[in-house]
Amino acid sequence: MNITHLECAACGLEHEAQRLHNLCRECGKPLLVRYDLERAGSSLTKESLRGRRADMWRYREVLPVENDENVVTLGEGWTPLLRTDRLGKKLGLGNLYIKDESQNPTQSFKARGMTAAVSMARELGARKLAVPSAGNAAGALAAYSARAGLECFIFMPRDTPRANVVECEQTGAHVTLMDGLITDCGAEVGRRKEAEGWFDVSTLKEPYRIEGKKTLGYELAEQLDWTLPDVIVYPTGGGTGLIGMWKAFDEMEKMGWIGSKRPRMVTVQAAGCAPIVRAFEEGKRFAEEFPNAQTVASGLRVPRAIGDFLIVDALRESGGTAIAVTDEELIAATHEIGAVEGLFCAPEGGACLPALRKMIKEGQVKPEEHVVLFNTGAGVKYLECFS
């Protein structure tokens, strides 16, 4: 489409587009897709969006697939941005919203990244895909691989929520449950991928999942009539959604859609697995692996994120922060959001509420500011957490 090249997020080395890549061949950091935004903007305009399809592929010119026939879609994206007045009143906020990603296919925001990654894998000739996952990414990869007619190999911790495991099995994936964490599953994929002929679609270890996730930023701007919120509160494991939104804001500014003002980006993690919070508080750019990672919010149980520096950069550049909440707080918040607004959030989404409360208490959020919380998935996929 309008891709010019791939660029290493750390060292800036350019890589050729339209080839399968994982990490930067020089420094081993994530690659980002770069576009000819002037060309993209000649047909992708605010006005042109009014008559377009109601899914994330409405932003076609800034998505990576060259041939429309290779787009593998289940109708993902264009999820509701819910104004939550009752919850806002409890918190003393006049403009509180929840972006509800549970209404995606496979019931989580992971559908966005996997539609882009699987579409590009098919276009570039991959036939076997593999991923380590704490749950929802696995379900999304299994579904989109089946849709594309590709083989899918999934490695998940043995204590992954049962709904995720069944979902993968019923959509035709080869599922392996392992003792340990997602990092152990990732190491297993790394050891076997060359011999098995797998293409690794781990978080930020290929350049296209972030392209799907960035549509969160495009949608948010469009749904708020091209005025970005003051604060975005985002539950962060691997952090691709936050990084993707930050990339989207930059692209939209270059196309003249928004100005230079950015939301304060807020990372929320579980107290039992908070590598980004710890790095942010210690003034570091790179996060050390979090020891003995534990949390019932399986999507937050990522002891080390390869995109750590990109997350921390966005937090600091935006004047945002990083907050840890306990499992007890996030489970209680899931119930509170459900009882007040009728939305059964994933525990990761629930984690945003106690984090916001802490910010309000410390005067970091003003009553009149526009605040968006992200619910990244459906609570029904985590029933073990509520038993």
pLDDT digits (tens, 9 = 90+) for 173-215: 999 999 998 889 999 999 999 999 999 999 999 999 999 999 9
pLDDT at 80: 98
Task: State the pTM of this model.
Answer: 0.96
pLDDT at 138: 95
Burial profile 222-243: b = 16 or more Cβ within 10 angstroms, e = fewer: beeeeebbbbbbbbbbbbbbbb
pLDDT digits (tens, 9 = 90+) for 21-49: 999 999 999 999 999 999 999 999 999 99
pLDDT grade for 134, boundaries at 50, 70 and 90: confident
pLDDT of 387 > 90? The answer is: no
- Give the rounded distance of the alpha carbon of 24 from its chain centre: 21
What fold, for 81-108+209-386? Rossmann fold (3.40.50)
C-alpha span between 318 and 303 (Å, rounded): 24
Which stretch of 102-111, 157-166, 320-329 has the lowest confidence by average pLDDT? 157-166
Structural domain boundaries in the chain = 81-108+209-386
Average pLDDT, the chain: 96
C-alpha span between 286 and 278 (Å, rounded): 10
pLDDT digits (tens, 9 = 90+) for 336-378: 999 999 999 999 999 999 999 999 999 999 999 999 999 999 9
| Residue partners of 36: CB distance under 8 A and separation at least 6 | 2, 3, 4
Mean pLDDT of 162-180: 95
pLDDT of 1 > 80? The answer is: no
Mean pLDDT of 244-257: 98
